[in-house]
């Protein structure tokens, strides 16, 4: 039988992995948007 403490580290590891992947996707989009259009955020800068 699993306890709450056994599931917690796996949850945080998956959450941090997903968070880092989403951040890198956003950074990738930001760099390519600047390379293609010359704007960091369209309509703002």
Distance CA 19, CA 21 (A): 5
- For the cut 70, the answer to whether the pLDDT of residue 39 exceeds it is yes
Sign of CA dihedral 9, 13, 14, 18: positive
For residue 40, what are the contacts with CB-CB under 8 A and spacing of at least 6? 30, 33, 34
Mean pLDDT of the chain: 79
- For the cut 60, the answer to whether the pLDDT of residue 2 exceeds it is no
Regarding predicted confidence, which is higher, 42 or 31? 31
Distance CA 8, CA 30 (A): 33
Q: What is the pLDDT of residue 1?
A: 53
- For the cut 60, the answer to whether the pLDDT of residue 19 exceeds it is yes
Q: What is the pLDDT of residue 34?
A: 84
């Amino acid at each position: 039988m699993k306890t709450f403490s056994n599931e917690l580290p796996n949850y945080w590891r998956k959450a941090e992995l997903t968070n880092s992947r989403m951040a890198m996707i956003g950074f990738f989009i930001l760099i390519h948007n600047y390379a293609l259009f010359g704007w960091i955020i369209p309509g703002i800068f």
